[in-house]
Amino acid sequence: MEARAREIADRLRSAPSVTVVAHIDADGISGGAIASEALARAGIRHDVTFVKKLDEAVLAEIKRQGPPLAWFVDLGAGLLHAMHGIDAVITDHHVPTEREVPKALRGDLVRFADSADRVLMLNPHLDGEGSDVASGAGCAYAVAKALDPANVDLAAIAIVGAVGDVQDQEFRRLGGYNRTIVADGVRAGVLQASVDLRLFGRETRPVHKMLQYATDPWIPRLSGNEEACVAFLLELGLDLKIDDHWRSWSDLDRGEKQRVVSALVAHMLERGCGARETDRLIGEVYTLLKEPVGSPTRDAKEFGTLINACGRYDAAEIAYRVCRGDREEPFAEALRLLRGHREYLVGSMDTIEEAGIQEMDALQYFHAGDKIRDTVVGIAASMALNKNGAMKDLPIFAFANADDGIKVSARTTRDLVAKGLDLAAIMQAASKAVGGTGGGHHAAAGATIPPGQEQAFLEIANRMVREQLGRSGPK
């Protein structure tokens, strides 16, 4: 990976100017910020643009503009077969299209998208690794480090990208090349990795709120119940407030944290949670040491959420400024967007209630029409799955209108994935069958399909869920 990063760095150094093209999610935006910061430090002229997705049309437009060199961050791999006629470097962790990467070229130090050496790609898949060993931001970081070893301070933002892409979720800690980045960040004094309660909101949420909103794991009797959370903590003798300030998890001392964690573990086990669920309370968490205590930019997961909130509402540039270190107006605007996002989600829950969740024998679904943005419908689906309204033993499929067709987001529980459910395969096959495209991960996948194809899509998806779970069809 480092050898490939050096090749790409050389290419960047010799370019008269570079156009960075990055994805609009937390990983893409933080990766774009890393690319731009590294280029700026190296004195390489460049501009940065963010795109919602890279399809043939977007790529054609970039080719038409004809930048001396394009640097794709957190996207590009999926269009490797269409990269002819452009000078480009790609730092991406998505599955690359196979067509133009002959087996013979795999294992080489440098990989080419086609026979001409105009496209260089750094991607863990080329080493037979999965998507989770490095993020798009992490791959961009590898190049930044190759441009200048002093760029290791950018490790902090690279970890925000990885966590924003939930790469720590499955194993409750980052793995693969991400560990090198963590080690770099620790050595550079910008990052701390520690084993701690891994619920969301360690820096900014009052402790009882952090418990109340816990979904991974779901804590019986506490999740969704503010009063019970307050009572639980008071019973442990915890001071929830100092003067007018609600204490966050980061305000607690070691002893207090240990008391709460022990009590939570006992609470979950006593209420019948298995060790696997209970274990999910604890994991590795990542703190950006140069950021102020109590700021959402201090915790990697909260930082990632802040950036994602901007990306979802067409404000990737705002988040990008924050990633580059701006703590003035863009930061204030990002905080406003995050608050707006939370309100939007509350409204989305009402929308789902009105639309109603329909059931087929192997799945459940709702259609949000124009009422929920295509960039948010996936989260809305996750939230619906976590609420009592939706059945947890059925995967949920959500539809929303988008510019380019109907957006579909599918979500399921870890339980059903363990039983054999693979939503990525379903989204890919079912969308393809109706003239769309899709993919993603086992537990969270997405697709875009032509309008009017929803029912046909659902029939196929329903049958596939049934097959994957080894269930027989309806009588």
- Judged by the rule CB under 6 A, the positions of this chain that interact with ligand C5P are 378, 409, 437-441, 444-448
296 binds, among ligand C5P, Zn ion, none (CB under 5 to 8 A by kind): none
Say if CB 454 and CB 399 are below 8 A apart.
yes
The residue (of 46 and 441) whose beta carbon lies closer to ligand C5P is 441
Structure tokens that stand for 95 in this block: 């599955």
Q: Which is nearer to Zn ion, 44 or 79 (CB)?
A: 79
Q: Does 132 contact Zn ion by CB under 5 A?
A: no
Of 209, 289, 277, whose CA–CA distance to 246 is shortest? 209
CB of 167 to ligand C5P, least distance (A): 11
Of 279 and 314, nearer to ligand C5P (C-beta) is 314
Of 203 and 374, nearer to Zn ion (C-beta) is 374
Site for Zn ion contains 74 (CB under 5 A)? yes
The Cα-based distances of 75 to 20, 175, 289 in angstroms read: 11, 21, 29
Amino acid at 437: T
Distance, CA of 444 to CA of 282 (rounded, Å)? 22
Instruction: Tell me which of Zn ion, ligand C5P, none is bound by residue 136, counting a contact when its beta carbon lies within the kind-specific cut-off of 5 to 8 angstroms.
Output: Zn ion
Tell me how far, at minimum, the Cβ of 161 lies from Zn ion, in Å: 7
Q: Which string of x and - marks every residue 413-452 that binds Zn ion (by CB under 5 A)? A: ----------------------------------------
Please count the residues of the chain: 475
When CB distances are held under 5 to 8 angstroms depending on the partner's kind, the choice from ligand C5P, Zn ion, none that residue 409 binds is: ligand C5P
CB of 77 to Zn ion, least distance (A): 10
Nearer to Zn ion, 67 or 136 (CB): 136
Residue 395 contacts residue 381 (beta carbons within 8 Å): no
- 374 contacts Zn ion (rule: CB under 5 A): no
Residues 126, 130, 131, CA angle at the centre, nearest 5°?
100
| Interface pattern 159-178 for Zn ion (x via CB under 5 A) | ------x-------------
Helix segments in 356-452, DSSP class H = 377-386, 414-418, 423-433
Number of residues in contact with Zn ion under rule CB under 5 A: 5
Helix (H) or strand (E) holding 278: helix 275-279
- Among residues 173, 106, 117, 187, the alpha carbon closest in space to that of 145 is found at 187
Task: Tell me what percent of the chain is helix, strand and coil, each rounded to the nearest 5.
Answer: 45, 15, 35
State the binding partner of 184 from ligand C5P, Zn ion, none, CB within 5 to 8 A by kind.
Answer: none
DSSP string, 87-140: -EEEE--SPPPSTTS-GGGTTSSS-BSSSSTTEEEE-GGGGT--GGGS-HHHHH
When CB distances are held under 5 to 8 angstroms depending on the partner's kind, the choice from Zn ion, ligand C5P, none that residue 378 binds is ligand C5P
Question: Applying CB under 5 A, which of residues 12, 22, 26, 27 lies at the interface with Zn ion?
Answer: 27
Which spans of this chain sit near Zn ion (rule: CB under 5 A)? 27, 74, 135-136, 165
